[in-house]
Structure 1
Amino acid sequence: MSTRAHATGTDGEQSVGSGEIRSLTGLRAVAAVWVVVYHFHFTPGLGYDGYWEPLRPVIRAGATGVDLFFVLSGFVITLTYLERVGRRPSVREAGTFLWARVCRIWPVYALVTVVYGGWLLVKATRVTDGVVAYQVQQPVLDVWHFLLQLTMVQLWWHPASGGESWMGSAWSISAEWLAYVAFPLVAVLLWRIRNAPLVLLGATAVLLMVPLGYTTYVHGGPVIAWSWLLRIGAAFLAGALTCLVVRRVRRTPRVEEAAAAWALASVGAIAVGLWWGDWRGIDNDHSAFGGIVVVFFPVLVGALALSRTGLSALLSRGPVVHGGRISFGLYLVHIPVFEVFWTLMDWWPRIAAGTSLWALLLAPVLLSTFVLAHLAHRFVEEPARQQLRRVVPARRPAETAAQLAPAQARVAVVRGDRPLTPATAALLAGRNAEVPPAQPAAPVPAQRTLSA
């Protein structure tokens, strides 16, 4: 099931609903590629030369793409679940929400964890220095830590993110799972402040990112104790507050034009911040002072959600949107692929750094992560999600449509896999005078919900 992202009123105005916002799905692709290229650049033999040199300001701050993911997650989770989880809190609604998140993220995560864990065990039998993963702090390979990985809680009681996850990138999955567990309580607060002044909500969303930006400004990255908690807490809440603003803004042509301009201005500010961070950075160091640009992420996400032209139109194109839909799998598989390649470079002299075969393999290795992500999405993520959702069926949005608050009653909720019948149209028209009662009888194309 899905809901349309925007409902059109009789005066031409529109409001944001709870369906897929294609520009934000496309932005997920950008964030994923940013992180992937950042990690790929650690491939032995590569440096800031040739094609990489002009991209150095962006690559150096590539880890910041994770913070963009967190802001997007806060926005999308709030957009999709605030009504059901925050309006009338209950154990049932909280459980249904958490199960929906498990269905979305756990199948691919579990598969990659098991396969990569097997690789680490094989590698442990061949190395003599105890280095089985490309991390400063080596992961512990035993049954207990395997269970921690599978349940996605491995990071929760550790001040540092390094070494607790078998896959270097899996720390963010554990952090985001904590945000999901806390969301039913956070949603209660969000519901009660949803009608606060828009300026206050928007300003607070940006201010929440300031501590993270300041930490990056001082240290060249979020390297303080419990920085992972700061990153997920600040970014997720900033995205949630941004959603509270966007869902109340009427999308008139003037608003869309202003939002498109703000989106471009945000990208410009991010570019300047990344250039400054590269200028301040230290050669041969992993410092990423450009990470201060996180303060612009809530503005960028909100502006893209409210616009259709310019940058939003570019991110809404089919290939980019598909990239966003496979971004979760891409984020999970790229580290295992890269680390296997790096290990084989050490074991097999024929593909050692600098050899001709090594040069030929660079592009295929990088591209293989996108192919694997597509396959994981097509044959694991989506089928497993559908199967698991049948175990605990979610309440249909149509069941709660009559309970929507007046401020949100303008959003039409329909079944994505059935025609909009005259009876349903009449019901929606009765609850929302701005939604045209006459709708085509053809099936409404199903839209995928943007997932975190």
Structure 2
Amino acid sequence: MPLTLERPLPRAGPSLPQLDALRGVAILAVFVQHAGDRFLPLVRPAIEANAPSPLVPWILTVLHHAWWGVDLFFVLSGFSLGLSWLRSGGQTPREFLLRRAARILPAYWVALVVTLAFHRGVLDAPALPASLAAHLLVLQGYVSPGGIVIIGATWSLTTEACFYLLFPWLAPVILREGRRALWIGAALVVGSWLARAALHAIVLEPGVHTGLLEATQRRWIPSRLDQFVLGALAARAFVVLSRSARAAAIAPYALVACVPALVVAFRLEGLRYLEPGGGWPYALLSLVTAALVLSAVLCRGRALAIVAPRPLAFVGIVSYGVFLYHQLALGLSDLEPQSPPTWKNLAGTTSFALVASLIVGYASWVLVERPSMRWASPKRGESRPSPA
């Protein structure tokens, strides 16, 4: 039988504010990563010139690993879906997949149309029909006919979609009571780590960052399944630990401890990624990210107010729309796209793009995402559907 809460949560309802805040952290990290693609050559010399030399490599490794926002999104996805499963007592595969499709596809398809409207030059490309088919079927993370990538960041939706197809069959197994379910979940996590390590060893050309290496380590579901499963197992742990006052008291300290642990994981991953055996630091990164999520959702009282401030939670609520449109906003806001980056350009580009992304993200949430979820859940009567 599935785990149960001592005080049952609503069958469906708003997500925990900590989850919204963590989604806010994740999308801001992704935004920084994509803004930094152009401006890191400007920022890096400034850091090297002004920061204490022992700290420079650590600061740079954090900046280089802003893509960690995707890792956090994957763990949060596993946690949110796992907690929803436990709240509802289980869902049929049809019900689950309908809800997931309603959550992801309408807003994504609208974003595709909007993005193409601003890049009309691609409409004449011979491979556009094949590329559109790949995007509409959410396969763009694995195939890109003609090299056409309409929304670059949405490769992660392909990985998410693969997990959605597996989840209705995994959830009843790993979210049940008893040690057997935990052992199965642990086996899936370790199996994912071994798959990633094997792919790393097979594909690696030492010192060379190839597209195939990136795909095997970042995009393929066998190499990412650990983060979704760890998130679901963290939801199971939350159900048990949420009854404990001691866990709530320890959670803020555990959350603080996760931050330096993450930086160490970033540093190890950056140093080892292009070397033989360099896939193992990723396991540490996944574990610490799952621990961070669990620690955050266990925070109560004053710690909760610090972990989940309202502005950050708002960013998390609209994060999917921000995710879909922030690269378009960054491109449109670049004041001098062909010139060397300047501090003026950095400030103008990032400020405009962030504000525009938040506005459009909110519009996407209100006009597309929330109505789509309500349509898929007519019997639930949610006043504000969870952004999960």
- TM-score of the alignment, normalized to the shorter chain, above 0.5: yes
Q: Secondary structure at the match of 2:285?
A: helix
Per-residue CA deviation, residues 180-199 of structure 1 (Å, 9 max, x unaligned), is 233222223234x3433797
**Corresponding residue for residue 371 of structure 2:** 387
Matched, 1:49 2:45: yes
> Of 258, 264, 270, which aligns to 1:272?
264
**Contact (CA 8 Å) 2:20, 2:316: kept in 1 or not?**
yes
**Contact (CA 8 Å) 2:251, 2:296: kept in 1 or not?**
yes
**Corresponding residue for residue 412 of structure 1:** none
Instruction: Output aligned runs, 1:123-272, within 5 Å.
Output: 141-155=127-141, 163=147, 165-191=149-175, 193-196=176-179, 207=190, 210-211=193-194, 223=214, 225=216, 227-272=219-264
Q: How many residue pairs get matched?
A: 362
Closer, same or farther in 2 for the Cα pair 1:258/1:209, shift >3 Å?
Answer: farther
Per-residue CA deviation, residues 267-288 of structure 1 (Å, 9 max, x unaligned), is 2211233345566789xxxx99
Structure 2 unpaired stretches of 5+ = none
Q: Secondary structure at the match of 1:154?
A: coil
Closer, same or farther in 2 for the Cα pair 1:151/1:382, shift >3 Å?
Answer: farther
Structure 2 Cα separation of the partners of residues 394 and 205 of structure 1: 34
Per-residue CA deviation, residues 148-198 of structure 1 (Å, 9 max, x unaligned), is 212313345x5x99957432211101221222233222223234x343379
The alpha carbon displacement at 1:115 in A equals: 2.4
Q: Secondary structure at the match of 2:44?
A: coil
**Corresponding residue for residue 75 of structure 2:** 71
Q: Secondary structure at the match of 1:174?
A: helix
**Contact (CA 8 Å) 1:256, 1:306: kept in 2 or not?**
yes
The alpha carbon displacement at 1:200 in A equals: 5.2
The alpha carbon displacement at 1:250 in A equals: 4.0
**Contact (CA 8 Å) 2:23, 2:319: kept in 1 or not?**
yes
Structure 1 Cα separation of the partners of residues 268 and 227 of structure 2: 22
Per-residue CA deviation, residues 62-117 of structure 1 (Å, 9 max, x unaligned), is 2222111101001101111345473xx6xxx3333222222222233222212223
The alpha carbon displacement at 1:256 in A equals: 0.6
> Of 324, 337, 340, which aligns to 1:353?
340
Closer, same or farther in 2 for the Cα pair 1:207/1:242, shift >3 Å?
Answer: farther
**Contact (CA 8 Å) 2:335, 2:348: kept in 1 or not?**
no
User: Which amino acid is the alignment partner of residue 353 of structure 1?
Assistant: P
Closer, same or farther in 2 for the Cα pair 1:33/1:148, shift >3 Å?
Answer: same
Closer, same or farther in 2 for the Cα pair 1:225/1:252, shift >3 Å?
Answer: closer
**Contact (CA 8 Å) 1:206, 1:299: kept in 2 or not?**
no
**Corresponding residue for residue 33 of structure 1:** 28
**Contact (CA 8 Å) 1:263, 1:304: kept in 2 or not?**
yes
Structure 2 Cα separation of the partners of residues 242 and 205 of structure 1: 14
Closer, same or farther in 2 for the Cα pair 1:212/1:311, shift >3 Å?
Answer: farther
Structure 1 Cα separation of the partners of residues 6 and 168 of structure 2: 30
**Contact (CA 8 Å) 1:108, 1:329: kept in 2 or not?**
yes
User: Which amino acid is the alignment partner of residue 371 of structure 1?
Assistant: V
Alignment identity in percent? 22
**Contact (CA 8 Å) 1:216, 1:289: kept in 2 or not?**
no
What's the TM-score, normalizing by structure 1?
A: 0.67
**Contact (CA 8 Å) 1:202, 1:242: kept in 2 or not?**
no
The alpha carbon displacement at 1:26 in A equals: 0.8
**Corresponding residue for residue 107 of structure 1:** 106
**Corresponding residue for residue 351 of structure 2:** 367
More helix by share: 2
**Contact (CA 8 Å) 2:77, 2:228: kept in 1 or not?**
yes
Per-residue CA deviation, residues 119-151 of structure 1 (Å, 9 max, x unaligned), is 4442687xxxxxxxxxxxxx9741232132123
> Of 307, 310, 318, which aligns to 1:318?
310
Closer, same or farther in 2 for the Cα pair 1:212/1:317, shift >3 Å?
Answer: farther
**Contact (CA 8 Å) 1:26, 1:321: kept in 2 or not?**
yes
Closer, same or farther in 2 for the Cα pair 1:450/1:209, shift >3 Å?
Answer: farther
> Of 292, 295, 302, which aligns to 1:300?
292
The alpha carbon displacement at 1:331 in A equals: 1.8
Deviates more, 1:220-229 or 1:367-376: 220-229
Closer, same or farther in 2 for the Cα pair 1:309/1:339, shift >3 Å?
Answer: same
Per-residue CA deviation, residues 210-250 of structure 1 (Å, 9 max, x unaligned), is 45886899869863637522343221111112111211224
Deviates more, 1:366-375 or 1:233-242: 366-375
**Contact (CA 8 Å) 1:26, 1:315: kept in 2 or not?**
yes
User: Which amino acid is the alignment partner of residue 351 of structure 2?
Assistant: L
Deviates more, 1:109-118 or 1:213-222: 213-222
Structure 2 Cα separation of the partners of residues 361 and 123 of structure 1: 27
What's the TM-score, normalizing by structure 2?
A: 0.76
Matched, 1:80 2:84: yes
User: Which amino acid is the alignment partner of residue 386 of structure 2?
Assistant: T
Root-mean-square deviation (CA), in Å?
4.0
Q: Secondary structure at the match of 2:243?
A: coil
The alpha carbon displacement at 1:17 in A equals: 8.4
